[in-house]
Amino acid sequence: MTDAALSITQSAVEQFTEQYLTEVGCTVQKDGGRWTVIAPEGAETEVLNGEISLLCGEPSSDLGENERELHPESTFFQELIAEASERSPTGRIILTSEGTQIEMPPWIQQSDVEVATATFTPYYDRTAVVFLYRIGIETVSEYQTELLRAIAVDTRSTDPLPKLEDTFLQSVSSPAPIEASPVDFERSEARNLIEQTREVVVDRVQPKIDEIHQEASRAADAEIEEYRQLQQQRIQELQEKTTQLSSRIDDLSESIQQSNTQSERMQALEKRKEIKAEYEDAKAELEKLRHRRDQGFPEKQQEIRERHALEVVVTPLTVTQVEYERGELELELEKQGVAQSLTIGYGNGVGVTDEMRCDSCNQLLTEDNPVQEIGAGIRCSQC
């Protein structure tokens, strides 16, 4: 997968969580999808105190006291990652050909061609760096999401190494911890790499950002429509009120003319004055609301949309230096009794480093366009 995430699977999350909690001095007792975690006095963690229950799997809306969720997007897991990153912000992995399984390119994996033998010959060492980023996507209102993404680049060429990201994430989730140690490059070089990879990681999560933005926009639209309807209801109420008050004023004016005594006349005049004031207030509010309605309630719209606006915060959590070997991968391919030798650039933990094209049509071989025939050179599925 190219959009490498620490939360690739629930099992990886659980494996990392158990490993980390054990390392910091907690005890973990499993009972199916419910874990009992105890942090004794002296445990090197601030994520929990005393005893809690972790519920593994899908999010739950019904959590009891001292119960926490454990899944890729859970708050507890995000807190755990943040703390682990603070404890070991830098690290190093050394990949060797002996300890790394050869990974066939997708254009072979998706084909009917068989690989009889595969031999990797390393020629030189290369250095890559893997950044683990936390991407916080939130609004002032209810939408909050945190994602973890890894991105790997070669330090010399700055070329992205998607396959190495998966290798790194497997190392993070494995029982053998990554060696915590300083990295062998300057701070200025790290800043440059962070600037380059930050843009890439945002591009990769852009679909998620767009999805949350659409949800927030729909919520804002619904709130604006609800406000508009409430104001329209208020306008109708004021229209009815001004009509009623106007009728009362007319009635009082008639009463004044028909008054038999000075006292009755004075009382009617005072009452009409009071009703007129109330009428003028209601009329002024009605005109103001009509004007705002005709304008589309711009101030309220701005207030609501600002409340639902997205804020995306990208934070590098860890940097891991990866030493790997580059060389050539010699493949012996077979199909229906026909054999073909092929040599391509390869890096352990990185995968195939050369593009491969069809000998007939020059189309790029990919997962969707795998090798089809090897009898007269390498031919793709479109030939």
Greater model confidence, 138 or 284: 284
Residue 6 has a pLDDT of 44
Average pLDDT for 208-235: 93
Burial of 260 (C-beta count, 10 Å sphere; 0-12/13-18/19+): exposed
- Are 315 and 133 in contact by the 8 Å Cβ rule? The answer is yes
- Are 352 and 346 in contact by the 8 Å Cβ rule? The answer is yes
Global confidence as pTM: 0.71
Beta bridge partners of 334: 114, 339
Residues 75, 62, 11, 35, CA torsion sign: positive
Please compute, for residue 50, the number of CA atoms within 13 A of its CA located in the half-sphere on the CB side: 4
Per-residue pLDDT tens over the stretch 233-257: 999 999 999 999 999 999 999 888 8
CA distance 26 to 17: 11
CA R_g for the chain: 34
Rounded to an integer, what is the distance from CA 379 to the centroid of its chain?
Answer: 40
* Residue 43 in this model has a pLDDT that exceeds 70: yes
Residue 173 has a pLDDT of 56
DSSP state of 376: T
Per-residue pLDDT tens over the stretch 91-111: 788 888 776 789 899 999 999
Could you give the 3-state DSSP secondary structure of residue 374? coil
Residue 19 has a pLDDT of 86
Rounded to an integer, what is the distance from CA 108 to the centroid of its chain?
Answer: 32
CA separation (Å) from 165 to 45, 82, 218? 27, 19, 35
Average pLDDT for 139-168: 83
CA distance 124 to 119: 16
> Considering only CA atoms, which of 47, 64, 67 is closest in space to residue 55?
67
Average pLDDT for 207-235: 93
C-alpha angle with apex 125: 119 to 128, nearest 5 degrees? 110
Domain chopping of the chain, boundaries: 10-97+131-208+312-317, 219-307
| Rounded (10°) CA dihedral 209, 211, 212, 218 | 140
**Residue 204: left if φ>0, alpha if ψ -120 to 50, beta else—which one?**
alpha
Per-residue pLDDT tens over the stretch 68-82: 999 877 888 888 888
